[in-house]
Amino acid sequence: MSAKSPFLKGKPIRPEPVAAGISAADLVDGTFLAYNAARLREGCRLFVEKMLEDGVTVGMSLTGALTPAGLGRSCLLPFMKMGFVDWIVSTGANLYHDTHFSLGLNLHQGTPFLDDRQLRKEQVIRIYDILFEYDVLLSTDVFYRQVASLPEFQKAMGTAEFHYRVGKYVGEREQALGYEGGSILSVAHEYEIPIFTSSPGDSSIGMNIAALALEGNRLQIDPNVDVNQTAAIVWKARSNGKGSGLFILGGGSPKNFVLQTEPHIQEILGIADSGHDYFLQITDARPDTGGLSGATPSEAVSWGKVDPDKLPDAVVTYVDSTIALPLITAYAVSRRRPREPKRLYRHLEQWTADLRQSYLASKNSGGKGVSTKS
């Protein structure tokens, strides 16, 4: 009787022995058959087979010290250049530390088992097992202060505009130093990928902007712009394209910021919608400890963040991002052709204006909601 059970329709677990020269993508497909390895395989397939369809708009959130470990250059840049990510919400720290490389500054492999008192005496900074000179911070601070003091920055703006403008100067410094391949900010500028920072004061970039304000600098970061622009991206993706997909690395504020776009559209603006279509998260946090990093996609459904009809297209993989991201990158670049860049940055102003019109129409109709679907 058990052989006829619908629960036994899965393929038998009978992998081939791992052979020399196997590709990372074949390793995932052939041997990641159970437990969190199977969730990672499901995440790879969700990303490649559904989220990377040409019409889907893919947002990504970055949390944790990923760029100091080199994952910006090794993994995120291929995603950006191949059109696999269309907009990003990152901690300011990831962007700040990625800039070190563009300025010709070195970070070194090390060990976490060191005397931090001795490191302090020798002016060596430690990010777990990554080591670098204290002057790396000071030199990067000088760069951001010089750029933020330019005339074009003497106004209020959202973080997407700030990062786009900074990316131009990061790219110029890379060219001058002969740094090949680019960085998150310079490639985002080239491909017009908007990058937002949900907590702009919570990084060395924000601290340098704050210090300049004490000198009379007129640069102000306006979070209202970011909230409305990210919502406009998702609203257009849901109404004009094949949907919205989110690739979430870690949790925290960036995770909430990419997900809150739907409550902003539905709850606050009164525009009828049903949530994001695809949800892929890499996390090592549990859901029962109260941290956002562990919040599940089914919980997000209750907020209207994820479309309940698309819940099967939601995968959470409980694994370290520094392990999962290289594997997903290798899988994606092997299994999927590049997509045409959407260059969303150039559309932000118009799409936000369109969102405003829909909001006012919803408000004038008594808040009954204006559907995003045409």
In CATH, what number is assigned to the domain containing residue 61? 3.40.910.10
Query: To 10 degrees, the CA torsion angle through 373, 367, 157, 352?
Result: 30
Closest CA to 193 of 163, 225, 219, 224: 163
Would you say residue 27 lies in a domain?
no
- Please indicate, yes or no, if residue 202 is contained in any of the structural domains: yes
pLDDT band at 117; cut points 50, 70, 90? very high
Q: Is residue 16 part of a domain?
A: no
How are the residues of the chain apportioned to helix, strand and coil, as percentages rounded to the nearest 5?
55, 10, 35
What does the pLDDT average to over 88-102?
98
**CA angle (158, 162, 167) in 5-degree steps:** 150
SS3 249: strand
Two tokens at 115?
């005397």
Whether the Cβ atoms of residue 235 and residue 348 lie closer than 8 Å to each other: no
Query: How far is 281 from 292, CA to CA, in rounded Å?
Result: 12
In a domain, 353, yes or no: yes
pLDDT band, residue 9 (cuts 50/70/90): confident
For residue 178, count other CB atoms closer than 10 A to its CB.
7
**Structural domain includes residue 19:** no
> Taking the CA of residue 161 as centre, how many other CA atoms within 13 Å lie in the half-sphere pointing to its CB?
19
pLDDT band at residue 202, thresholds of 50, 70 and 90?
very high
Is 107 inside a domain boundary? yes
CA dihedral defined by 292, 293, 299, 301, rounded to 10 degrees?
100
Tell me how far CA of residue 209 lies from CA of 34, 160, 196, 205, 215, in angstroms: 48, 15, 16, 6, 10
pLDDT in tens, 278-309: 999 999 877 776 766 656 666 666 666 666 66
Question: Which structure tokens are listed for 355?
Answer: 């969102």
Order of strands, sheet of 130-133, starting from the edge strand that comes earlier in the sequence = 108-109, 130-133, 124-127
Domain presence at residue 243 = yes
371 pLDDT band, cuts 50/70/90, is very low
Q: Give me the mean pLDDT over the 267-277 stretch.
A: 90
**Is 372 strand, coil or helix?**
coil
Q: What is the pTM of this model?
A: 0.92
Nearest to 103 by CA among 61, 78, 138: 138
In a domain, 303, yes or no: yes
* First CA to last CA distance, the chain: 49
Range of the domain at 171: 37-358
Under 8 Å between Cβ of 285 and 277:
no
For the chain, the domain total comes to 1
φ and ψ at residue 81, rounded to 5 degrees = -75, -25
Helices 204-214, 92-102: inter-axial angle, 10-degree rounding:
90
Helices (H) and strands (E) counted in the chain, each on its own, are: 16, 11
CB 67 within 8 A of CB 127: no
Confidence of residue 191 (pLDDT cuts 50, 70, 90): very high
Cβ neighbours of residue 167 under 8 Å, at least 6 residues apart?
Answer: 185, 186, 187, 188, 189, 190
User: Choosing from 255, 305, 310, 342, which is the catalytic residue?
Assistant: 305
> Is 305 known to be catalytic?
yes
